Amino acid sequence: MENYILKVENICKSFSTVEVLHSLSFNVRYGEILGIIGENGAGKSTMMKILTGIYLKSSGDIIFEEQKIDLKKPVDAKKIGLSIIPQEFNLIKDLTVCDNIFLGSELRKNRLLDKELMKKKTKEMLKVLEVDISPDEKIENLSGAEKQMVEISKALAFKSKILIMDEPTSVLTINEIKILFRLMKKLQKEGLTIIYISHKLKEVKEICDRVMILRDGYFVTEKKIDEITLEQMAESMVGRELSQVFPKKNKPSDEIIFDVKGLTVPGVIENISFALRKGEVLGLGGLVGAGRTEVSEAIMGLRPVSEGEIMVKNRLVSIKKPADAIKAEIGYLSEDRQGSGIITSFSVIHNITLVSLPSYSNNTVNWIDQNAELESGKKYQKLFNLKAPSLKTHLEFLSGGNQQKVSMAKTLDTKPDVLILDEPTRGIDVSSKQEIYRFINSLVREGISCIFISSEMEELIGMCNRVVVMQDGKVTGILEDKDINEEEIMFYATGIREGGN
């Protein structure tokens, strides 16, 4: 007889009149690592939010350790030992690492907060994760990878029985992923049950004992991990055979559309120079902390530049704030989707036109042309195959992948000539990735030029005409054609080689 810690029976969930989970049933065994995969909008995150009391189920039963439970709020889940590491960070940036880890479960001594003990335990947890962060460091000063480790420590502090990990490796380096996997195996041996949600099928294959596949809110199948191939996983997710992942690269013209010379932000990036051709996909590669995002932020006026110049169509432009960049016809998709890309309490349509709103107004009376807004929304909904009940749906009710599509639509609605895409496929399923790759390819064929920042080697190799490789805030090499391969990128990313062009 199977020994299950969790049974989910016939769970349904509806938002308004739209049902997103359809009689979903599955079981989780004690001490296993269960992988859950599916396209964006398949229902993974919705199901996990029900399990952690964030959403109320519409019908069905949840049985935890042989007891039927009714989760009405997140604290109910934490009390019985269900914790989640969310895809989007749930940290308070103004508080310290220690404060965030013990928020809601503070340790006390004689009714007073025992700050020294909490700092000691924070150090112990971070040491296990092999992370060198001070308990007194504020969250706002941490990198994405460091924030992820704080989220993991925060979940461990609750002494969970089931730990749900939603895309936990999206901001981690290869070495940090290895550390995380070692930790997961260690926790598994100690009796922790883990539900692991990821779009990275190779990681699911490596770390999980079983995999369950969802599609459009329905259960598709579950298999022992050694009984299913990566190809079978991908095809079960989308319900069809997948063609070649990356489209054929466009051949750019020789015309320089965008030229960066000697861009410097003291202590962050130094003497960054590169040129972008019309119709080109130019990659920015390097390890976490190399300075790729900082370059894009400097270009967009989000960081003060001490030296350097930017030329757009052979015209020198002065960019002090994002509005200047938009005026220069530069679009920007931030890697921090919820932090600076979208407003989840706004509707789909209002997010899409958030930056481009002046183009929908009558300058005489400052009225918004709502019909024009609606037409744009419909166009992008079709273009990106956006899954949303309506254009008036708030983004908080959309999956992470569909939120990313809205963020991309918002960027395109400014009608840029140069498009900076920072990790555009992070947290995106394999089918949606293909859609975005094809869409980027169609943009460059129409003459738009793209700067493509990615931590995934295969994306840089499959999508880019050239790759600018960075290390420690400096350009170490620019690779082209056959030199764009994993070995060469790593050589320049680690500083073994310098000066490639």
Closest CA to 281 of 30, 464, 488: 464
Q: What is the mean pLDDT of residues 151-173?
A: 83
Global pTM? 0.62
Q: What is the mean pLDDT of residues 276-300?
A: 92
Say if residue 242's pLDDT is above 60: no
pLDDT at position 453: 95
Pick from 40-44, 185-189, 378-382: least confident: 40-44
Reported as a single tens digit per residue, the pLDDT across 458-483 is 889 999 999 999 988 999 999 998 89
Q: How far apart are CA 223 and CA 213, in angstroms?
A: 9
Question: Which fold, 4-238?
Answer: Rossmann fold (3.40.50)
The residues pairing with 113 across neighbouring beta strands, listed in sequence order, are 108
pLDDT at position 366: 65
147 band by pLDDT with thresholds 50, 70 and 90: confident
Contact 60, 12 (CB under 8 A): yes
297 band by pLDDT with thresholds 50, 70 and 90: very high
Reported as a single tens digit per residue, the pLDDT across 265-274 is 998 999 999 9
Contact 68, 10 (CB under 8 A): no
Pick from 186-195, 280-289, 333-342, 472-481: least confident: 333-342
Query: What is the pLDDT of the chain when averaged over all its residues?
Result: 88
136 band by pLDDT with thresholds 50, 70 and 90: very high
Higher pLDDT, 482 or 243: 482
Say if residue 425's pLDDT is above 90: no
Q: How far apart are CA 134 and CA 150, in angstroms?
A: 11
pLDDT at position 126: 87
Cβ neighbours of 470 (radius 10 Å): 24
How is the chain split into domains, by residue range?
Answer: 4-238, 340-415
| Tokens encoding 270 | 């130094």
